[in-house]
Chain A
Amino acid sequence: MHELSICQSLLKEVARAIANQSEVQSKAVVTAVDIALGPLSGVDPGQLLRAFELARWGTLAETAVLRIEPVPVTVWCAECETESTVPPNALVCSMCGTWRVSLRSGADLSLRSVTLSDPDGPAPKEGTCPEEKADVY
């Protein structure tokens, strides 16, 4: 659905993060982008990976891989003082069953880190086709 537009904002945030760095860093090539993604964000990881393949062309992250850390849905029951890991459509305490719980994690949709190639190291191989790397992930 809108995974392509999510990718575009992801790439904007990557560019922003690099622009904030020193000049040496800003010349570096992005090799990996790590994000955290929970099911309650509404974003599908498979579609996001496919969209990233397209969206990264012509950007600083053209040859980067996208790594998605899945975040489980967890809820906190104040009554039982218990955290439960639950399915996205059953936000209830696993001890007492109440739905009066608060969401601890699972709606995450955030950029965690950007890995850059060593600007002093060997230059990244030119013309690497991202499609070749694609099936690694």
Chain B
Amino acid sequence: MCTECGCPFPPGMVKITTAAQKAVNLVAPPHTLELHTSLMRANVETAAHNRAHFAWADVLVINLMSAPGSGKTSLLEATIEALGNRVRIGVIEGDLETENDAARIRAKGVPAVQITTGQACHLDATMIHGALHQLDLSQIDLLFIENVGNLVCPAGFDLGQDANVVLLSVTEGDDKPSKYPVMFRAADLVLLTKADLAPHMDDFSLDRATSNIRRLANDAPVHAVSARRPNSLTQGLTPGLTPWLDWLEGELDRRSFPMEDTP
């Protein structure tokens, strides 16, 4: 049993250790306790617990982060259109207010849990833990977490995801990686969204955006995509969704290693 939530914990899973307990080391007067404890300890432990849930249910979890309105929900809608009949998708939506985004996802026939954070400008591992228990993970292969639209906070909070995907729309400017280094350093994949608008944005350079990401010592792939004209690659116009879907397929393949299913 999982002591935190009472949910059945995968057998053979290592119990989460409390690193802080070991780190405490009392020194002589003036009564200073020397410590080396991350202030993210509690969140990191809950994220590890979430990760165990996801691994047990064999779910690939992708955390989508961006500024407000960069196209996270639109990307998910288009992704469900493209993959929905082959891959079982689920979505956890994070917003300050409203059920709008979850409603958009459910309209595509995909289960979605909405987390309304109220004041909190990011999702944390405890919120995700609450949400994952509202989903039947055994019926999901690919779980998207759409984080709160915010380029500052969400990067600091591990949720138990397999990968971070950061969206930067071409209308936001190619200097954003330099202005929000914490976020872009955390990215495992960067999508330059609304690429169909790129012809109108003469000062947005894919090369400059990429070079600003590299200067964060991040070798994550960078791809231009458009949710608006997902099939336009065939017409030679914009990149559509192809690079993103290819990346996702790769991640799904890496996950389905040939092993016996454990009960």
Residue in contact with B32 in the complex, picked from A6, A18, A113, CB distance below 8 Å:
A113
Q: Which residues of A contact B260 (CB under 8 A)?
A: none
Q: Give the B-binding residues of A (Cβ under 8 A).
A: 1-2, 5-6, 9-10, 12-13, 16-18, 20-21, 25, 28, 35, 40-43, 75, 88-92, 99-103, 109-119
CB-CB under 8 A from A9, the residues of chain B are: 39-43
- 10 cross-chain pairs, A with B, having the tightest CB-CB distances, nearest first: A91-B217, A42-B182, A116-B31, A89-B181, A89-B178, A111-B37, A114-B33, A42-B156, A99-B214, A115-B32
Size of interface on B: residues with Cβ below 8 Å to A: 41
B99 vs chain A, min Cβ distance (A): 23
A88 to B30, CA, bound (A): 36
Nearest chain B residue, comparing its CB with the CB of A3: B153
B contacts with A: majority SS: mixed
Q: Which of B32, B120, B178 makes the CB contact (< 8 A) with A116?
A: B32
The CA-CA distance from A1 to B182 in the complex, in Å, is 14
List residues 47-80 of chain B with CB under 8 A from any CB of chain A. none
**Which A residues lie within 8 Å of B152 (CB)?**
1, 42
Q: Chain A residues near B183 (CB, 8 Å)?
A: 42
Question: Given A114-B33, A115-B31, A116-B33, are A13 and B39 neighbors across the interface (CB < 8 Å)?
Answer: yes
Instruction: Tell me if B190 is interfacial: C-beta within 8 Å of chain A.
Output: no
Closest to B185 in A: A40
| CB-based contact A110/B216 at 8 Å | no
| B13 in the interface (beta carbon within 8 A) | no
Determine if B223 is an interface residue (Cβ-Cβ < 8 Å).
Answer: no
Our pick among B26, B35, B182 for the contact of A112 (Cβ within 8 Å) is: B35
**Minimum C-beta distance from B260 to chain A (A):** 37
B34 at the interface (CB under 8 A from A): yes
Question: Are A110 and B217 neighbours in the complex by a CB distance under 8 Å?
Answer: no
